Amino acid sequence: MVLTHMPDRIPIVEPGESHDEDVNELLREATTEWYEDAAFFGAMAHEPTVFKRLVETLGAFPQSETIDSALLELVRLRVAKCHECAYCGTVRTVDVREDVAPKEEAVLGDDIDETALTHREFLAVKLADYLSTDPHRITDAFFDDLRAEFATDEIVELLLFSSLEVGLDRFTIALTLDTTEAGPYPNSLDYPLSDPQPRDG
């Protein structure tokens, strides 16, 4: 079933509308950094304390030396594909948009294209796929493959980041969140996102 675009289930908090100036500053940052779109932050900003802590947590990634923001963006896009999240599959993380663009197609298909990714990228994206669909399918053999490529702290970081993205995707889907008119993306998004498209860098 496709939910054609409907009015926002809740209004977003626009930059400057919050009584908390720290929240307003984060909302302004969202229009020029992060995804260059304030809708996601604006939805969370109705609960300012949790919102600020979540943004701080998301901003803490990556921590491990050999995990970078481009790898985490591939993970984020795979989670969006698995959940058919129209907002998450439409927006892009600004800082790594150009780096990730050539590999987007590999993670946005029904199956992950292992040939277009490094083995580390494939394992990270596959882990996100499992967490999004059925974590019970994570086998000991797959975990051995993870341990061969990633240190323990890196595996934990990938699990935490992917798990946060799974939950936040579902938050976004529950709200049928649309992009803002001020952002650089198409508006009037339809849920579920049936055919996510790679974007040019």
| Dist. CA 151–CA 133, nearest whole Å | 24
Which pTM does this prediction carry? Answer: 0.94
Which pLDDT belongs to residue 7? 56
Which pLDDT belongs to residue 1? 47
DSSP state of 15: T
The per-residue pLDDT for range 120-170, each reduced to its tens digit, is 999 999 999 999 999 999 999 999 999 999 999 999 999 999 999 999 999
Plot region of 84 (φ>0 → left; ψ -120 to 50 → alpha; else → beta): left
| Dist. CA 31–CA 65, nearest whole Å | 28
Which pLDDT belongs to residue 198? 76
More confident of the two residues 116 and 196: 116
The per-residue pLDDT for range 90-106, each reduced to its tens digit, is 999 999 999 999 999 99
List Cα–Cα distances, 180 to 43, 99, 112, 150, in angstroms. Answer: 11, 24, 30, 38
Report CA torsion sign: 37, 62, 157, 121: positive
The per-residue pLDDT for range 59-76, each reduced to its tens digit, is 999 999 899 999 999 999
How much of the chain, in percent, has pLDDT values that exceed 90? 91
